[in-house]
Amino acid sequence: MNDALFIHRIHFAFTITYHYLFPQLTMGLAPLIVVLKTLALRTNRPVYDEAARFWTKIFGINFVAGVVTGIPMEFQFGTNWARFSEFTGGVIAQPLAMEAVFSFFLESAFLGLLLFGERRLGRRGHWWAAFMVFAGSWLSGFFIVAADAWMQHPVAYRILPNGRFEVTSFWGVLTNPWALIQYAHTMSGALTTGSIVMAALGAFYLLNRRDSEFGAIFLRVGVIAGIIATIAQVFPTGDMHGKYMAQHQPAATAGMEALFESKAGAPMVILGQPDVEHQRIDNPIVVSKLLSFLIYGTTRAEVKGLDQFPKDQWPTNIPLLYFAYHVMAGLGTVFLAIMAVSAFLLWRGALDHSRWMLWILMLTTPFPFIANTAGWLVAETGRQPWLVYGLLRTEQGFSANVSAANGLFTLLGFMGLYAVLTLLYLFLMSRQIAEGPAPHTAVSGAQA
């Protein structure tokens, strides 16, 4: 592999992977804050206002981290993927520019009001500030997914004589079926993160025997949102996404399952390691015929294996694609099970006292971040060897005028900078959590 190409790929992969740790929580928490503020307006109980205030502080720190790591992304198409930008700017920059114009201005205007404007705006006005921030962040997510979806499944374009793409329909790029399915799947993923984080923090306070009133609220809101999100994650969004992908990126689907040979009644591998060289799976545990059923709804259907595609169109890193997919799907299933049991206990009124379940919920915190990251890895490694599926190969898109050494230099710079940001983020978050949701409590006053 060309050294510079490799560095530019790692550069983008690192900065985007790190970035997305934050927006998934931003987009996941934003609607939950709206829920808390709605409860406050409906019930007139100040505890909901305080709960919303607490989560708004957490949200604020997280939002800053998301914004500062997001800015480099807008520019890295040009810095590291110049040829790709030259060819596709006339299409893909439509959703990217629209994100800045339609979402970032909105968010920047209302975030300040959400964070610091409660007294000035009054309760109803402040509810609207929360709602607008929620709308802005979800709109922003849509534009990014639409940009990615165009790379996965290019629509509404024409190729000009100079090789550049141009957009042929304003709505075409925005109503790309791939974008709509991927958006639903991505947003339920973000909501999974937000609701697990909220439920987990509630479990943390309950297990710690402090701020129990708040802990119970966080737990209830988190689990109810969580059961909705984790169900939607699998069905219908995950199901639709998988089927649409099998139809339009069959090589990626074969790579996800490491299905080397086409097979009628294809099995689904639950565990095992793909051996690309010998085209087999080591240590397999399989459920027979499940893959055919999941994709085509019948156990007899034939699933295309990698043998159907020329080798230069195979996903370039099949083991990574395979593991990412299995981590994503495996964790998604586990989240659904955890949320189902939690929701059952909540319904029976026993969740607050089921310490074993609270432990599980608390310890689940890091896993939705891993699952969301793995999901994006599936999307982007599955798309390989293409930048724009079927039209522009990855090696045609990078900045050939930027050497591997210069790329490595700035990659190391970003790594160092983000290491510092990670420390600051974790420090401020821990302080906020230790301080707790109760207004003006010192540590001694923490028993609610």
Partner 1 sequence: MMETVWFILVAFMLTAYVVLDGFDLGAGALHLIAARTDEERRLLLRSIGPVWDGNEVWLLAAGGTLFYAFPLLYASSFSGFYLPLCMVLWLLVLRAIAIEFRAHLDNSLWRDFFDGMLSIASLLLLVLFGAALGNVIRGVPLGKDHYFFVPLWTDFAPGPNPGALDWYTALCALMAIAATSLHGALYVIMKTTGPLQTRMGAIANRLWPVVAVGTIAGLAATVVVRPRVLDNYRALPVGWIIPLAVVVALGGIRYCSRRGSERNAFLFSCGYLTAMLAGAAFALYPVLLPSGSDPALNLTIWNSSAGPSSLSIGLIWWSIGMAIAIGYSVLVYTMFRGKVDNSGGDGHY
**58 part of the interface to partner 1, by CB under 8 A:** no
Residues 190-209 that bind partner 1 (CB under 8 A): none
Among 10, 13, 64, 228, binds partner 1 (CB under 8 A): 64
**359 part of the interface to partner 1, by CB under 8 A:** no
Interface stretch with partner 1, choices 167-175, 279-287, 321-329, 341-349 (CB under 8 A): 167-175
CB of 178 to partner 1, least distance (A): 20
CB of 166 to partner 1, least distance (A): 3
Comparing CB distances to partner 1, the nearer of 46 and 112 is 112
Give the pair of three-digit tokens for residue 290.
């499940």
CB of 258 to partner 1, least distance (A): 36
Residues 301-330 that bind partner 1 (CB under 8 A): none
Give the pair of three-digit tokens for residue 390.
């079927």
Comparing CB distances to partner 1, the nearer of 84 and 314 is 84
Rounded Cα distance between 158 and 155, Å, is: 9
Among 6, 13, 78, 286, binds partner 1 (CB under 8 A): 78
Type of residue found at 113: L
Residues in contact with partner 1, total (CB under 8 A)? 71
Among 164, 220, 243, 248, binds partner 1 (CB under 8 A): 164
Among 6, 13, 89, 273, binds partner 1 (CB under 8 A): 89
Comparing CB distances to partner 1, the nearer of 40 and 378 is 40
Contact 318, 258 (CB under 8 A): yes
Residues 93-112 that bind partner 1 (CB under 8 A): 93-94, 96-102, 104-106, 108-109, 111-112
Among 180, 286, 301, 400, binds partner 1 (CB under 8 A): 400
Comparing CB distances to partner 1, the nearer of 45 and 431 is 431
CB of 373 to partner 1, least distance (A): 21
Rounded Cα distance between 12 and 198, Å, is: 30
Rounded Cα distance between 123 and 433, Å, is: 25
Could you tell me whether strands 386-388 and 392-393 are parallel, antiparallel, or unpaired per DSSP bridges?
Answer: antiparallel
Among 277, 401, 443, 444, binds partner 1 (CB under 8 A): 401
Comparing CB distances to partner 1, the nearer of 125 and 177 is 125
Among 23, 28, 31, 72, binds partner 1 (CB under 8 A): 72
CB of 90 to partner 1, least distance (A): 3
Comparing CB distances to partner 1, the nearer of 85 and 273 is 85
**90 part of the interface to partner 1, by CB under 8 A:** yes
Among 170, 235, 347, 359, binds partner 1 (CB under 8 A): 170
Interface stretch with partner 1, choices 74-82, 251-259, 276-284, 343-351 (CB under 8 A): 74-82
Among 10, 13, 68, 408, binds partner 1 (CB under 8 A): 68
Measured CA distances, 176 to 64, 247, 335 (Å): 31, 15, 29
CB of 16 to partner 1, least distance (A): 13
Give the pair of three-digit tokens for residue 22.
């934050």
Binding mask 406-445 toward partner 1 (x if CB under 8 A, else -) reads x--xx--xx--x---x--x---x--x--------------
Comparing CB distances to partner 1, the nearer of 157 and 386 is 157
CB of 117 to partner 1, least distance (A): 6
Residues 124-163 that bind partner 1 (CB under 8 A): 158, 160
Give the pair of three-digit tokens for residue 58.
């957490």
